[in-house]
């Protein structure tokens, strides 16, 4: 996509190696294909075939434990989807979840990157610590936050002993707090992703730009707004896009932490699909929802890249 | 990330020249330092401290449950006990799971890094028919939710007679990680000035030798970044291991972690100790490589 | 594409041979007679149960040197998906642990071999409890025996005997007594609650067994095929339960599954917790003498109606070693093995010879449940687990709805009607397909 075109590749052939040892032209033409062939093969067998199979199931009535009812239903599953309130609810939740997560991760990640980009004693240690949750899996994140949130084992129990709050507080059991609680757990693991990417990009801001800005009398805020942010723009666009897709598709945290509850308050679209597949064994309808999700994601991503004018020269 | 690198020089700094002189400029140096110190606290150490608390408390909570005796409600892991580690490591098979996870993650790292290098080099250095399409396909793979691929993938591995073999995990993980790894790697390759390679070739090296002698050493941060992503991703994978492996002697740490929560039991000590076993390798790997990650990802912009 | 698959397969197989990382191959012993490996999947693996099976397998292998049993532990939360995937791809084990709740799904997919003849010819014939066999047959739709029952897992309410005694209370005999005791034992200031409701995973099963115990309704469907879930007496109990929420139970209940409920029970935060005999060992280990159990109390008309969940073993149709697999199942259900397993878990043995064992006589709640279950007058209600949609209706649909009831966003009557309508429809569907 855009990022491929932006950095114009200088083909090495631009100046053919002046030595006489140049291989036959055919060999050079085939070289890139040979280099990508293992990946193409892997993707074809282990990704394209399964995706095809999901699309195939999306057109079938296929409930695993009702094999006698299996039949081709065409777009029937998609029609059912339009009338399924749980689909719309879960889609709305997913949108809310992605926006909240990505926005907060971006803001906190940006702030964190700016902080650990400063020079101070213990910076290396601080960086290693604040970045470390990034390496922790979703399932383990859940285990940890379950321990923290559970009224029997968690922090609220101890907080109530020093007079803060109520010992029986169950943030995951209350529909008013469960969203925030799940968002915080995911932030814990998600902020470092943005912080690292932005920090990396911050370090590439040429010093001369800041010097120029400071000669022009720009303060900290101004040089942030006029030097740093424009420089970070493409990084931010790409990171938010990748992260949005990832947050949209990721089920393991919500599946294990809230299981979509209470009363469906935290059921995202992929989680709804997972429940359909794992508890209702409804693979046909689940596949249709997956296919729909894929199309929605693709559409939103293209729209986002267009609107953000990603990669265009200013 | 490729897209994160820039050609800074073709972007003229959009700095206006405001006629405002900022306050710092007129203050005497001592006051600057004092004011600076106070503002540094508010601007730097206070938020950093708060964020550190947010990061560290969950880890601490896990360590607390892992290290204190069952039934204790103390906020300090004292008296210290290693019994929960004994339980998970010896009785619940984490010793075997751990070895399996290490092997699977290392082999995934190897495959992903190697193929990403090959493909990344091709993408960065060759203009070929289908390149854009391939790139687009790589990006599109990111939209595919892994969880729904389970059953079709299972059927494929069944056909290949790879169910209940660690290869199924290594292959599936490599497949899902390669696209992004390759895009990343092509960015790193692109950051190595092509002139270096050309001049090596002028000196009589073939392309492969030029690559090995000139490009590869410069790619070290990139390789570390891509490799550690692959290692961590593979180490953390739960669903593939759960579905593709049956033998307990082949299972991995995340699946073992799941077995500490039974239908009838919940052993928080074992759960936390298992969590520590699951977290320590990746968090350590990460602590060591994070500085290369930061370097690696920004290196590109320096050279455009 | 299929030729591409084959090529890849060949390449990958070659790779697998070159490196030592491939999985263990088949285990044919060159010396002596051919050794047969029987794969067994445990449907409820965990730290408490896995060692029991490992012990039994050792014993079995000693007695049958030409058979090796490969144990595969699957946790109960993953087992349904694991079986479904295995069936879809033809990679089922030889023998698998199967509960009555799993049975219908497996038989609908024609994965299990019928056991009627094997059982008729077996020395076990006549030794397994009759009502367990009846439950097994009913759960698979009455088309035969597809699960050899090994154990009854009756519902039970664990309570803190020490706290009850301190408050001068005895174990409640009726639901209304239970709710009154729960109120007495609730002290919110001290973070202590009398009861706890399962609102999270598994809520549907548990709520229905409570409702039928209270209502005394003994049929899931009336003569016209209509579900009885929305019978006013069932609705009354659901309302009473919902009224307990946050009054005598913790706020966290709405999303808690059993492990979290148990955690609160162990942390002295709740005084009564509804589960089943399967957790006997775990509560005893955690709380020792401080805990005791009672069976689900009776409703206003004094009769108690029990569901009868049965654990057992299935023989998979695709097994290449049917004879050896059956031998292993027979061994697991023999007097000695069945007694050993049930004693250590705390469930009711299916092998009636175990009823004469000393441990059983002393087992307290286990024997109490077993006696009641096997008593002639006891009414059993058969949850319609034979319906393929049963899991969808009681889990995917009913659990979020019940959470709404607890949170006051839906009435108990609407909830019950929703479940009843879905079950009525599924039953009609089932009848039309199965005559």
Q: Which residue's structure tokens are 């010396």?
A: C31
Going by pLDDT thresholds of 50, 70 and 90, the confidence category of residue C196 is: very high
More confident: A267 or C281: A267
Q: Residue B14 — very low, low, confident or very high, per pLDDT cuts 50/70/90?
A: very low
For residue range C75-98, list pLDDT tens digits in order. Answer: 887 888 888 878 877 789 999 999
* Measured distance CA(A64)–CA(A284) in Å, rounded: 9
pLDDT at res. A18: 42
Q: What is the mean pLDDT of residues B225-229?
A: 88
Q: Give me the pLDDT at residue B23, please.
A: 38
- Asked if C85's CB is within 8 angstroms of B150's CB, the reply is yes
Say which of C41, C91, C259 has its CB closest to residue B261.
Answer: C259
Q: Does residue B276 have a pLDDT over 80?
A: yes
- State the best of A19, A31, A36, A243 to mutate against chain B, taking most chain B CBs within 10 Å: A36
* Subunit contact B262:C260, Cβ cutoff 8 A: no
pLDDT band at B33 (very low <50, low <70, confident <90, very high): low
Phi, psi of C191 (to 5 degrees): 60, 40
Annotated domain spans of chain B: 31-81, 92-303
Among C10, C23, C82, C286, most B C-beta atoms within 10 A, so best to mutate, is: C23
- CATH number (3.90.380.10, 3.40.50.12170, 1.10.3720.10, 2.30.130.10) of B92-303 reads 1.10.3720.10
Which pTM value belongs to this model?
A: 0.80
Chain C stretch 104-123, residues whose beta carbon is closer than 8 A to a beta carbon of chain A: 104-105, 108-110
**Tens-binned pLDDT, residue by residue, of chain A (314 aa):** 333 333 333 444 444 444 444 556 777 788 899 999 999 999 999 999 999 999 999 998 888 777 777 888 888 889 989 999 999 999 999 999 999 999 999 999 999 999 998 888 888 889 889 999 988 988 899 889 988 888 777 888 788 777 777 767 788 888 888 999 999 999 999 999 889 888 888 887 777 888 888 888 777 788 888 888 888 888 888 888 888 988 998 888 888 888 887 888 899 998 888 888 777 778 889 899 989 998 898 898 888 888 887 665 44
Strands C155-160 and C291-294: antiparallel
CB contact under 8 A, B272 and A274: no
Which chain B residues are closer than 8 Å to A128 by Cβ? 286-287, 290
- In the predicted structure, residue C8 carries a pLDDT above the cut 70: no
> Please, are residues A180 and A171 in contact by the beta-carbon 8 Å criterion?
yes
Strand partners, C273: C158
Q: Which two tokens stand for residue C245?
A: 């929420």
Closest Cα in chain A, distance from residue B21 (Å): 6
Question: Count of B–C CB contacts within 8 Å?
Answer: 112
The answer, for A162 touching chain B at a CB cutoff of 8 Å, is: no
- Given a cut of 80, whether residue B15 has pLDDT beyond it is no
pLDDT at B48 over 80: yes
Asked if residue A262 has a cis previous peptide bond (ω within 30° of 0), the answer is yes
Give me the CATH code for the C34-152+309-373 domain, please: 3.40.190.10
C155-307+387-434 matches C34-152+309-373 in CATH topology:
yes
Reported as a single tens digit per residue, the pLDDT across C40-77 is 999 988 777 888 999 999 999 999 999 999 998 888 87
Q: What is the pLDDT of residue A7?
A: 39
Structure confidence at residue C291 (pLDDT): 93
- What mean pLDDT is reported for chain B? 80
Q: Where are the domains of chain C?
A: 34-152+309-373, 155-307+387-434
- The Cα of A110 is separated from the nearest Cα of chain C by a number of Å equal to 34
- For the CA atoms of chain C, what is the radius of gyration? 23
* Strand (E) or helix (H) holding C98: strand C95-99
CB contact under 8 A, C199 and A68: no
Q: Looking at CA atoms only, how far is residue C197 from chain B in angstroms?
A: 16
Contact C20/B at CB under 8 A: no
User: C192 — contact with chain A (CB < 8 Å)?
Assistant: no
B119-147 pLDDT, tens digit per residue, is 999 998 888 888 888 988 888 888 887 77
Q: What is the ipTM of this complex?
A: 0.83
**Mind telling me how many Å the CA of A238 is from chain C's nearest CA?**
34
Residue C255 confidence (pLDDT): 85
CA torsion sign for A161, A164, A169, A172 is negative
pLDDT interval class at B263 (50, 70, 90) = low
- For A133, the closest of B9, B21, B55 (CB atoms) is B55
Q: What is the pLDDT of residues C367-426, one digit of tens each?
A: 999 998 888 778 888 888 888 788 889 888 899 999 999 999 999 999 999 999 999 999
Mean pLDDT, chain C, integer: 86
First and final CA of chain B: distance in angstroms? 13
Chain A residues touching residue B195 (CB < 8 angstroms):
none
For chains A and B, count residue pairs whose Cβ atoms are closer than 8 Å: 337
Could you give the domains of chain A?
26-50 (no CATH), 59-307 (1.10.3720.10)
Domain C155-307+387-434 has CATH 3.40.50.300: no
């Amino acid at each position: 996509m855009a990022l491929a075109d932006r950095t114009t590749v200088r083909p090495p052939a631009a100046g053919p190696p002046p030595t006489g040892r140049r291989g036959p032209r055919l060999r050079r033409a085939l070289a890139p294909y040979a280099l990508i062939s293992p990946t193409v093969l892997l993707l074809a067998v282990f990704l394209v075939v399964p995706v095809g199979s999901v699309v195939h199931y999306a057109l079938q009535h296929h409930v695993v434990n009702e094999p006698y009812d299996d039949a081709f239903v065409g777009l029937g599953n998609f029609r059912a989807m339009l009338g399924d309130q749980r689909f719309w609810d879960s889609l709305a939740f997913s949108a809310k979840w992605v926006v909240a997560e990505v926005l907060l991760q971006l803001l906190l990640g940006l702030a964190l990157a700016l902080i650990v980009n400063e020079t101070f004693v213990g910076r290396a240690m601080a960086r290693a610590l604040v970045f470390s949750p990034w390496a922790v899996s979703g399932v383990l994140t859940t285990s940890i936050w379950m321990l923290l949130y559970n009224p029997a084992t968690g922090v609220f129990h101890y907080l109530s002993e020093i007079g803060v709050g109520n010992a029986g507080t169950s943030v995951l059991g209350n529909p008013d707090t469960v969203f925030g609680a799940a968002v915080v757990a995911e932030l814990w693991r998600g902020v470092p992703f943005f912080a690292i990417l932005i920090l990396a990009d911050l370090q590439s801001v040429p010093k001369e730009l800041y010097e120029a800005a400071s000669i022009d009398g720009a303060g900290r805020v101004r040089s942030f707004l006029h030097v740093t942010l424009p420089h970070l723009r493409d990084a931010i666009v790409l990171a938010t896009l990748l992260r949005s897709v990832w947050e949209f598709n990721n089920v393991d945290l919500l599946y294990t932490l809230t299981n979509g509850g209470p009363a469906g308050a935290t059921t995202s679209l992929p989680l709804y699909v997972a429940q359909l597949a794992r508890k209702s064994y409804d693979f046909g309808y689940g596949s249709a929802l997956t296919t729909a999700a894929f199309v929605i994601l693709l559409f939103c991503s293209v729209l986002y890249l267009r609107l953000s004018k990603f990669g265009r020269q200013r | 990330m490729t897209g994160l690198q820039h050609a800074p020089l073709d972007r003229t700094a959009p700095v206006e020249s405001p006629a405002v002189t900022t306050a710092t400029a007129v203050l005497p140096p001592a006051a600057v330092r004092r004011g600076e110190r106070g503002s540094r606290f508010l601007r730097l150490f206070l938020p950093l401290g708060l964020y550190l608390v947010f990061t560290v408390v969950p880890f601490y909570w896990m360590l607390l449950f892992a290290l204190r005796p069952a039934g204790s409600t103390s906020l300090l892991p004292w008296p210290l006990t290693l019994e929960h580690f004994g339980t998970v490591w010896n009785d619940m098979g984490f010793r075997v799971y751990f070895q399996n996870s290490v092997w699977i993650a290392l082999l995934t790292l190897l495959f992903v890094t190697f193929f990403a290098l090959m493909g990344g080099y091709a993408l960065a250095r060759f203009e070929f028919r289908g390149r854009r399409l391939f790139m687009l396909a790589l990006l599109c793979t990111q939209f595919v939710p892994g969880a729904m691929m389970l059953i079709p993938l299972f059927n494929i591995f069944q056909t290949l007679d790879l169910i209940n073999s660690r290869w199924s995990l290594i292959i599936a993980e490599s497949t899902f990680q390669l696209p992004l790894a390759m895009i990343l790697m092509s960015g790193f390759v692109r950051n190595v000035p092509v002139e270096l390679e050309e001049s090596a070739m002028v000196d009589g090296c073939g392309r492969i030798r030029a690559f090995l002698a000139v490009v590869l050493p410069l790619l070290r941060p990139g390789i570390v970044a891509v490799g550690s992503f692959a290692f961590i991703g593979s180490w953390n994978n739960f669903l593939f291991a759960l579905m593709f492996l049956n033998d307990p002697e082949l299972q991995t740490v995340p699946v073992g972690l799941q077995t500490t929560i039974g239908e009838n039991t919940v052993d928080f000590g074992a759960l936390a100790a298992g969590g520590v076993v699951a977290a320590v390798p990746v968090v350590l790997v990460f602590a060591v490589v994070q500085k290369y990650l930061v370097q690696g990802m920004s290196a590109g912009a320096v050279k455009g | 594409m299929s030729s591409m698959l084959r090529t890849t397969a060949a390449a990958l197989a070659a790779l697998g041979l070159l490196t030592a990382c491939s999985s263990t191959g088949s285990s044919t012993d060159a010396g002596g007679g051919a050794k047969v490996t029987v794969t067994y999947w445990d449907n409820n693996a965990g730290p408490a149960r896995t060692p029991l099976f490992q012990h039994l397998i050792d014993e079995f292998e000693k007695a049958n040197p030409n058979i090796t049993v490969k144990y595969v532990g699957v946790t109960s939360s993953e087992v349904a998906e694991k079986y479904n995937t295995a069936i879809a791809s033809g990679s089922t084990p030889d023998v698998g642990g199967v509960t009555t709740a799993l049975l219908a799904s497996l038989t609908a997919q024609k994965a299990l071999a019928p056991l009627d003849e094997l059982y008729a010819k077996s020395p076990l014939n006549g030794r397994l409890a009759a009502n367990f066999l009846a439950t097994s047959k009913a759960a698979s739709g009455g088309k035969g025996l597809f699960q050899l029952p090994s154990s009854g897992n009756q519902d039970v309410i664990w309570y803190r005997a020490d706290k009850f005694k301190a408050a001068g209370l005895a174990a409640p005999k009726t639901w209304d007594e239970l709710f009154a005791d729960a109120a007495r034992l609730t002290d919110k200031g001290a973070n202590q609650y009398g009861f706890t409701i399962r609102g999270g995973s598994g809520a549907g099963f548990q709520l229905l067994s409570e409702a039928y115990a209270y209502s005394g309704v003994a049929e899931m469907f009336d003569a016209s095929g209509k579900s009885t879930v929305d019978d006013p007496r069932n609705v009354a109990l659901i309302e009473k339960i919902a009224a307990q929420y946050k009054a005598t139970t913790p706020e966290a209940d709405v999303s808690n599954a059993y492990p979290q409920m148990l955690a609160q029970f162990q942390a002295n935060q709740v005084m009564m917790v509804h589960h089943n005999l399967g957790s006997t060992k775990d509560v005893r280990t955690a709380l020792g003498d401080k805990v005791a159990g009672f069976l689900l109390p009776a409703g206003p008309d004094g009769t108690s109606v029990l569901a009868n969940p049965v654990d057992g073993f299935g023989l998979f149709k695709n097994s290449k070693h049917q004879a050896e697999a059956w031998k292993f199942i027979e061994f697991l259900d023999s007097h000695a093995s069945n007694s050993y397993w049930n004693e250590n878990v705390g469930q009711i043995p299916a092998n009636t010879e175990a009823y004469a064992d000393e441990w059983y006589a002393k087992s307290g709640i286990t024997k109490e449940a077993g006696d009641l279950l096997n008593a002639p007058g006891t009414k059993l209600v058969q949850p319609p687990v034979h319906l393929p949609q049963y899991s969808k209706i009681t889990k995917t649909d009913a659990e979020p709805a019940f959470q709404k009831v607890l949170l006051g966003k839906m009435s108990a009557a609407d909830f019950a009607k929703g479940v009843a309508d879905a079950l009525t429809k599924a039953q009609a569907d089932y009848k039309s397909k199965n005559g």
